[in-house]
Structure 1
């Protein structure tokens, strides 16, 4: 899930928040694989069993900024810029088959033809990974959905304001409000780093994700997924509220799915409560595959 907004990036390389992102990026192995007329860009850290991360709509690999170093202590963490987002080109066709084709070919190039991986996707990224696992089952060992729409449940109430024309403190206040209106639960979670990432990622997104998710695109594709499916949800996920309702919808098609709730977190649970999210993720991996 993302926040559509316009405006110019005001940060410079000297910005301390940009320095955080630049440091993490500089320590990554950058991998590019074919995608229509361009490439899919992947970033990898660490060693061990591969864990593939996908961001939400109008986001990028940066959605995982607070988790990468921790997860990379014992995994090879590979974060993708989904086709049509971040540094990646648009897919061959502007649909889930086009996205899945580019991702599958990329993973086979990176990991080998017979090396399925754990796929963990946030929001739109989870729906993309579900289609990937259905269309190209050879690449998927396990699918973890994080705060995903498309389960046919009622959409929660979100509150977004336009940023166009605003400057200075007024602009920052609206960006913070938009983060709290969709992505985050606590005011202190809408911090400088989250605000810094918001508009640049949104401006670089070239796909309209809503029609590829709502109302039940995930629910429809899950019966075709052969690998194990689990989910992690923020307790106060605003766009996809009531974890019990989401769990029931998921288990209507995946009866054995594990379901972990990150207490005191909103939609962007891995940013708002990174340690609790990572405990939930480890809890999912401890369940039988």
Structure 2
């Protein structure tokens, strides 16, 4: 599994931009000019690896951009902030450098969805659409997902802790937790420094996405642990501020829907972009 991730990373180009007192790391697949760029923002305590099962499919025919968000993966911590807006500003400035001002589609998962909403609130003509996946911070209470601490564990106990956390929060079917998912969880946990869970129960995304001036979509796995069994209320909350928003539900999948139901997710995202925007 480590070999698969290494091959995937080796196929990318690494770009660095400013982030706080250090650098933000971006990985890019595909060639410029091959279609509207698609930018994927991973979830909390994650990295570009959250998209490991989507990169090859979604990079066919277009430029695919996956950053490590500030304070996560290989990226430096952002300056201290009381809201996601300053972190989103770092992202927007980095994207202007990475894409040289080209228009792009934006898709964010979980904490990445929150940041995508704040990028959309700030963006100008460079943003073409925004798709939110497994989003919180819509003003609705989230389900309690008790996680176990991993950092002090080693060996089989550490693997068991990762498996518990994935089953509790990320997957609908624990039987789908494979060796690659555990490898990704371990790599992400080791590198995670920025803590984002405190934003999930706020209205921060709803308030930000209300300001978006581009087509908006929202996708959940049918059994997303942070939204089930009230996913329809989340769709309704989004439509209160974006009445024309598209919504999608992927059967049998949990919070990390892009991994657990990768083929379905890839198809739904590509179809939404094509039908809404023509590419």
Instruction: Tell me the TM-score normalized by structure 2.
Output: 0.92
Q: How far off its partner does 1:152 sit? A: 1.3
* Moved beyond 4 Å, runs of 4+: none
Q: Distance in 1 between matches of 2:182 and 2:87?
A: 28
Contact preservation (8 Å) 1:258, 1:287: no
Q: Distance in 2 between matches of 1:97 and 1:205?
A: 20
Match of 2:161 in 1: 174
Contact preservation (8 Å) 2:141, 2:201: no
Q: Distance in 1 between matches of 2:40 and 2:153?
A: 33
- What secondary structure is seen at the aligned counterpart in 1 of 2:16? strand
> Tell me, which stretches of 5 or more residues in structure 1 are unaligned?
1-16
Among 3, 7, 10, the residue aligned to 1:26: 10
Match of 1:99 in 2: 87
Mapping of 1:157-196 within 5 angstroms?
Answer: 157-196=144-183
Match of 2:276 in 1: 288
Match of 2:108 in 1: 121
Change (3 A) 1:168 1:208: closer
What CA deviation, in whole Å up to 9, does each residue of 1:47-74 have, x standing for no partner? 3220000000000000000000011112
Q: Distance in 2 between matches of 1:166 and 1:135?
A: 41
Among 238, 247, 272, the residue aligned to 1:259: 247
Match of 1:277 in 2: 265
Aligned length: 272
Q: How far off its partner does 1:193 sit? A: 1.1
> Tell me, which stretches of 5 or more residues in structure 2 are unaligned?
none
Contact preservation (8 Å) 2:19, 2:78: yes
Change (3 A) 1:84 1:46: same
Among 215, 225, 238, the residue aligned to 2:225: 238
Q: Distance in 1 between matches of 2:39 and 2:254?
A: 22
Q: CA RMSD in A?
A: 1.6
What CA deviation, in whole Å up to 9, does each residue of 1:209-246 have, x standing for no partner? 12333221111111111111111110000012232222
Q: Distance in 2 between matches of 1:160 and 1:93?
A: 25
Q: How far off its partner does 1:165 sit? A: 4.5
Contact preservation (8 Å) 2:85, 2:115: no
Among 238, 244, 254, the residue aligned to 1:250: 238
Match of 1:8 in 2: none
Instruction: Tell me the TM-score normalized by structure 1.
Output: 0.89
- What secondary structure is seen at the aligned counterpart in 2 of 1:224? coil
What CA deviation, in whole Å up to 9, does each residue of 1:179-207 have, x standing for no partner? 01000111222111111221331232222
